[in-house]
Amino acid sequence: MIIAIDGPAASGKGTLGRRLADHLGLAHLDTGLLYRAVACALIDRKTALSDIAAATHAAETLTPEQLADPRLRGAAMGEFASVISAYQPVRDALLAFQHQFARQQPGAVLDGRDIGTVVCPDADVKLFITAAPEERARRRHLELQNRGENTAYDTILSDILRRDGRDMTRSTAPLKAAADALTLDTTHLDAEAAFKAALALVAARTGKTDLAS
């Protein structure tokens, strides 16, 4: 079974994806980490983010070990990732990695921006996770504080809005819900409630009603 989860910045896709994967015994890939790792490789090599050839090379030579770097979760890396993720050759280079991950048995949960539309158009279930920008900024603010990063709430909110704008308007694999995606607005749901609601959608879409119990 393949579950595709897409949605805007800090919508809780990663937390939800991990919980669904654990519950269903599936593997989980936060595809945002791939783009963050490519950006991080460029920063480490002191290479400009505008260097498409270097970004493509970093994507082609990416190893799974690079995804464990705690620096990837920082606010700055999300911004840098959004810049290099607009390059078509970078996206193409990361596609094989994602396809291979999705093909494993008994299945996988992948979360990102274009999973239901480009990476796994045949996924068994497609979820599009949204939440009001202010609520997403509140959650990201808390998450960054817990990491020891003291970015102001207003800065986080404007970063999120700018990044969403860039992700939705880029010409290659823009952020959007697939036509057959089920949308879940988590503005008023905590992580547990969002997990239960998502599980109910998976059960309904697959016809496996026992999954939700």
Token code pair at residue 181: 């995606």
112 binds ligand CDP (CB under 6 A): yes
CB of 92 to ligand CDP, least distance (A): 13
Among 4, 26, 40, 114, binds ligand CDP (CB under 6 A): 114
End-to-end CA distance of the chain: 18
**Which residues, 79 to 98, sit near ligand CDP by CB under 6 A?**
81-82, 85
* Furthest C-alpha separation in the chain: 51
CB of 212 to ligand CDP, least distance (A): 26
**Which residues, 155 to 184, sit near ligand CDP by CB under 6 A?**
163, 167
CB of 9 to ligand CDP, least distance (A): 4
Query: Residue for token digits 């654990």?
Result: 22
130 binds ligand CDP (CB under 6 A): no
Among 32, 38, 141, 198, binds ligand CDP (CB under 6 A): 32
Among 31, 66, 117, 130, binds ligand CDP (CB under 6 A): 31
Interface residue list for ligand CDP (CB under 6 A) = 9-10, 14, 31-32, 35-36, 78, 81-82, 85, 112-114, 163, 167
